[in-house]
Every structure is written in C-alpha cells, then in structure tokens.
Amino acid sequence: MPWIIKYRPKHVNDVVNQDEAKQKLIAWLKAWEEGKVEKKAVLLHGPAGCGKTSLVEALARTFKYQLFEMNASDSRRKADIERIAKMASQTSGLTGRKLILLDEVDGLDPHADEGGVEALLGVIKNTRNPIIMTANNPYREHLRPLREVAEVIQMKRLSEKDVVSVLEKICKAENLTCDPAALKEIAKRSEGDMRSAINDLEAAAALNKKVTVDTVKATTAYRNRVYAPWEALQKLFNATYIFQAKEATTSTDLSHDEFITWINEHIPTYYETPEEIWRAYEALSRADVYLGRIIKSQNWDLLSYALEMMGPGVAFARTAYKYKWKPFKMPERIKLLAESRRSREYREALAEILAARLLTSKAIVMSDVIPYLRVIFTQNPAYAAKIARGYRLPEELVTWLAGPRAKEVLGYVKKPKK
C-alpha cells in the first residue's frame, strides 16, 4: 500500500496544523445537524498536499458520517452528477448520516464541461446533506458561482516543521534510520506539499533503509509548483532576481488577465511611496498594452514582454529592497464586478433598445443618453412613466433607471395621469 494511503490521518486530531479550518468545518457540520446552516456547501481550498481530502475523510470517520466521494475532474458525465444529485437530495436513512465530497472542483474545465458548474449549483440547491467541495484555486472565474453559494474555507500551506513532524512518525513506524537533515531536505523540496513529501520519503527509503541527504538528493527532484495567487504575489513582490519575479507570473493556474487583476489590486497595498506606486503601474500599464496587442494580433511571441513587465517590471519598481510580508486579499474589483453584474446587464439591455431607436451605437447611448434619462426618471416620475410607455420598457429596466423612485414611476406607468 502506498504510504500516502497507509498514513492518511484517521482522526481529525491527526491532521496537522489546520486548526482554523477544522474549527470552521466542525461548526458548519454542527449547524447542519441543527438545521441552522446558512450555506449548504463548503468550498475548502488550499495548496496541493495541504490535506484537504484527508481532512474531510478524517472528519467523516471521527464524526461517523458515511462519505460519498466524487472527483469532479474525472466525472464529467451528466450521469455522475445526476447520481450525486439523487443521493444528495435524499435524507439520511438507516445507513446513517451522509457527507458528500466533491473533490477538485477547479478541475472542471470551463470549456469542455459547459454546464458542469450549473449542474453542481443545482445539486447544492437541492441537497439535504452537507456537501464539501475542494479546490486548489477557488478564484478562477468559472468557479465564481460556486464561491457565491458556498462558505469558503481556506487551508494553509504546511510549514517545513509540520512536514518534518509527519515524516518522523513514518520513519519510526517503518523502522527507518532517518537523518534529520534528510527529512528537512525533503520537507524543503516539498514546499508544504505533504503528499509529495511522503512520496519522496518512500522513494528514498526504497533505495536504502538508511535515509540520508544524499539518498534524498538522488531520488527526488524539485517539482513545478502551482501557487495560490497570494503566494505568487508574495514571490513576485519580494523577488530578488528577475527570473523569480518572472516565474511568479506563470506559477498560478490563473490566466494572464486574471493574474494581472491581482497585481493591479495590490500595487498600492504593497508599495507605500507614490514614486514606487507609479513606477509599478507604469510597468503594469506597459504589460497591459502588450497583452492588448497579443489579443488583437494573435502574436503570442509578445507574451514574454508582457510577463517581464508584469513580474520584474512591477517588482523592481521599488526604490530599496526590503522583504515585506503583506496579506494579498481577493481583488475588490472581482467582487464589485460580480455584485454589479445585474446592473450592467440592465444598462446593456436598455442601450440596445434605445440604440436602435436613436440610430446610434450602444456606447453613445450609455455615455450620452442614459445619464439624462436617469435624471428624468429620478426627478419627474409622471413624465418618466410616459417615456417608459413610449418605449414599452420592461418593469425591471424602469426600476433600475428610477432607483429610489421606482415605485412612483411604476405607479404612473400602470395608471397614467389624465
């Protein structure tokens, strides 16, 4: 049996150093029991090998849930999702309480699995059992609907110390002679990925029962890591060499235009002086110009320049080097755009109606017509109602235009003043 399975945590207490996530999950399960749960699903995220799946399995074992597991990235067929949906919609019966685990939802391909996210939303809406989804990176655009309906719980990247402590236990259980420096080397190379650390220990031990730094170096290689956006930003802003800053731009699984949004957000939270902020933005602005040219010309040769401006250009905007640890939160703009989506759809719909009648483009309607229309709708409801009738504007567009005076306008639309 591979060691990563053999040494999976059996009890919640065996899961190392994730107390905050544990507490949140336990509280959420308790709320489910009591029927007081606010969000019916959890989106549990964290870097590879930090113990997401293990934690869920340990929870199920500790609190006696029957665990139903589906790996979202290899069960793309509608039938699988329907099977899960059916199970989720049934209340716990004689078999005991159920817990549903949808592993690796970020593996849902936004293009190939069109409808995959929608199907999961349906499952969550109708479920009568707790659902936990896991993801390495929950910030990809196509996962936004899932973020909205689920409680988002973050797990940390494990420290070297955490990894070493688990490796030591395994050494003992397997009767190996392990040089502490060797375990430290494995932990360092794992960068907090427990799964890869255990695999590396197993590989080194297969060579020799005595695990030394040399056997570790002979059997393990550095892996190409995928970082969470904030980790990549940490590396980018604190880079000491050009290559580090450039690598950071491609070390997440976000697309370039998604990652540039994160950099854009955090230039003024990381840098303090106007001088540095401007220099960093000047570089980012150049990066954006290259990205624009790539889109228009499909000349992907330019990508390297864009990445160099995004990474090193922003990192070396500093006037003096000082390692700074800063929290890099989810960009405010992503949230704002999600919240205002409805409103932007209304504006678009109204522009389409009026552009055809006023013989002009939607862009002109948005910049030149709608602002004045809003004045009429917020200042003179009776007159606004006449215009609403003239263009047969649907109720939701009238409501959007009139804002606080929507009721009055709609009243006049229904009962025109003589």
233 is a site residue for another protein (CB under 8 A): no
Query: Are 244 and 314 spatial neighbours (Cβ–Cβ below 8 Å)?
Result: no
Stretch that binds another protein, among 57-65, 69-77, 201-209, 360-368 (CB under 8 A): 360-368
Contacts of 23 (CB under 8 A, 6+ apart): none
Site for another protein in 88-147 (CB under 8 A): none
**Smaller CB separation from another protein, 90 or 304:** 304
What torsion do the CA atoms of 392, 395, 397, 398 make, to the nearest 10 degrees? 80
Q: Minimal distance in Å, beta carbon 244 to another protein?
A: 22
> Rule CB under 8 A: which of 31-90 touch another protein?
none
Please identify, among the stretches 59-67, 85-93, 180-188, 385-393, the one whose residues bind another protein according to the rule CB under 8 A. Answer: 385-393
Positions of E strands within 182-246: 210-211
Give the C-alpha separation, 261 to 266, whole Å. 9
In the complex with another protein, the residue whose CB is nearer, 33 or 275, is: 275
Interacting span for another protein (CB under 8 A) from 71-79, 106-114, 184-192, 281-289: 281-289
Beta carbon nearer to another protein, 89 or 380: 380
Part in contact with another protein (CB under 8 A); list of ranges 51-59, 111-119, 122-130, 356-364: 356-364
Structure tokens at 211: 């695990």
Which of these ranges, 24-32, 113-121, 131-139, 370-378, lies near another protein under the rule CB under 8 A? Answer: 370-378
By CB under 8 A, what part of segment 198-227 binds another protein? Answer: none
Q: Which two tokens stand for residue 313?
A: 């250009």
Q: Does 403 bind another protein (CB under 8 A)?
A: no
Angle at 138 between CA 135 and CA 144, to 5 degrees: 130
* Structure-token pair, residue 150: 């689920």
Distance in angstroms (rounded) separating the CA atoms of residues 330 and 141: 12
Burial class (CB in 10 A: 0-12, 13-18, 19+), 2: exposed
Residues 6+ away with beta carbon under 8 Å from 282: 317
Count residues near another protein (CB under 8 A).
64
Among the listed residues 210, 333, 407, 414, the single contact to another protein using CB under 8 A: 333
Among 152, 132, 35, 133, CA closest to 92: 35
Residue 280: CB minimum distance to another protein, A: 8
If the CB atoms of residues 105 and 314 are measured against another protein, the closer one turns out to be 314
| Residue (203 or 387) nearer to another protein, CB | 387
> Segment 296-325, which members bind another protein (CB under 8 A)?
296
Q: What is the DSSP string of 310-362?
A: IIIIHHTT-SS--------PPPHHHHHHHHTHHHHHHHHHHHHHHHHHHTS-H
For binding to another protein (CB under 8 A), which residues are involved?
257, 260-261, 264, 267-269, 274-275, 277-278, 280-282, 284-285, 288-289, 291-293, 295-296, 332-333, 336-337, 340, 343-344, 347, 354-355, 357-364, 366-376, 378-380, 383-384, 386-387, 389-391, 416-417
